[in-house]
Amino acid sequence: MTKEIESVLEHFKVFGVFEHQCYHGNGLIHDTFKITTNHNGTKYYYLLQRFNNGVFKHIEQVMHNVSVVLDTLHDELIKNGKDPLVESLTIVNTIDETSYYYDADKNTFWRMFVFIHNGISYDSVDSNDIFEETGVAFGRFQQMLDGLDPSNLYETIPNFHHTQKRYESFEEAVKTDKMDRAKLVQPEINFFLNRKHYAPIVTDLMNKGLIPTRITHNDTKLDNVLINPDSGKSVCVIDLDTVMPGSLLYDFGDAIRYGANHNTEDETDLSKVNFDITLFESFTKGFVSQVNGALTQYEKEYLAFSSILITFELGMRFLSDYLNGDLYFKTKRPNHNLDRTRVQMKLIEDMEHYFPTMKEIVIKYTQK
């Protein structure tokens, strides 16, 4: 592997000579390596990724989006007297001035970023303060991109958060019942059928122009924010592969779905699954502190609901995949997707219970 890495590095504009490599992080999509080089005794650090073009079919579109977004973020940071190398991802171009390298012999794509030293990521919420800072980071990300026209970006995953289309796919999975499993999960099926009215709410408002299309991250998990371990403050948002046009509500809702729950997406003991209203408030406070001036009235009105919507959407996707034979999401055990479905159902029920309080919290921070 070292020889291959050294060969790949020859195609990128790095300082110094190769000194060391090691695997970095626990990402499920790309293979990531931390690279150390040495230039006249000074060490430089980079992240090199073998890009998974099985998951993302059009690297040129993905990297176009990443490049446009990072250029905008860098301009905003410089304008505010900050250092983009410290507070943002930075692409390392190839010697041909492209954002990725294609190894034709191995049909492999590679890309590089400058390694960010002053931040770490968390896999679970250690404290309300950490989740508030996660909200700050994603809100700041939205705020800095507010002036960038979404039409400048590709929709790399069409209809990714089009909940109505996801619902139609769910209905089709129930109807076709390819694996003869529907009879085993009728209560779960009915749970989502009874909430059919959730599906078109945001997309209808977007189609009417009442909710604007913005540039969204679309993977607002906790571990996609770097936090400075010394100050406890957020550094930047990472993993921009799914950045594309969408609704700000999707990013907010998915962050809450993932982070305001103390257990994993596939917990089998549902008594341990809970929606934490204090974590909801922490994230809302941080997020709104950055975007409040840009939020429209309809975005404010549906901010709390977006948490239910995205949880509903993902729950349907898990159940659809179970009915279709577990073809999309990786599974490690029988009924894995069914376990995931039931976790989302429990969260939805908790959110519905807390919904009036969630709306009060949004009002509390958006009226400041």
Look at strands 244-246 and 214-216 and give their pairing: antiparallel
Query: In which band, very low, low, confident or very high, does the pLDDT at 55 lie, cut at 50, 70 and 90?
Result: low
CATH code for the domain in which residue 110 is found: 3.30.200
Shared domain for 91 and 135, answered yes or no, is no
Domain count, the chain: 2
Query: In which band, very low, low, confident or very high, does the pLDDT at 25 lie, cut at 50, 70 and 90?
Result: low
Q: Is residue 164 part of a domain?
A: yes
Q: State the residue range of the domain holding 230.
A: 128-366
Q: Is residue 119 part of a domain?
A: no
Shared domain for 150 and 249, answered yes or no, is yes
Q: Mean of the pLDDT values across residues 267-280? A: 95
Q: Mean of the pLDDT values across residues 303-322? A: 97
Shared domain for 132 and 103, answered yes or no, is no
Shared domain for 135 and 76, answered yes or no, is no
Give the list of residues 6+ apart from residue 244 with CB closer than 8 angstroms, or none: 65, 153, 154, 155, 156, 157, 160, 215, 216, 218
Q: Is residue 343 part of a domain?
A: yes
Shared domain for 88 and 135, answered yes or no, is no
Last residue of a domain, one of 90, 114, 138: 114
The pLDDT of residue 337: 95
Query: In which band, very low, low, confident or very high, does the pLDDT at 1 lie, cut at 50, 70 and 90?
Result: low
Shared domain for 226 and 315, answered yes or no, is yes
Q: Is residue 121 part of a domain?
A: no
Shared domain for 154 and 110, answered yes or no, is no
Q: Is residue 62 part of a domain?
A: yes
Answer whether residue 278 shows pLDDT above 80. yes
Mean pLDDT of the chain: 93
Answer whether residue 229 shows pLDDT above 80. yes
Q: Which whole-number Å values give the CA distances from 101 to 50, 59, 81, in the listed order?
A: 10, 10, 32
CATH code for the domain in which residue 154 is found: 3.90.1200.10
Q: Is residue 74 part of a domain?
A: yes
Answer whether residue 366 shows pLDDT above 80. yes
Q: Is residue 123 part of a domain?
A: no
Query: How far is C-alpha 164 from the geometric centre of its chain's CA atoms?
Result: 20
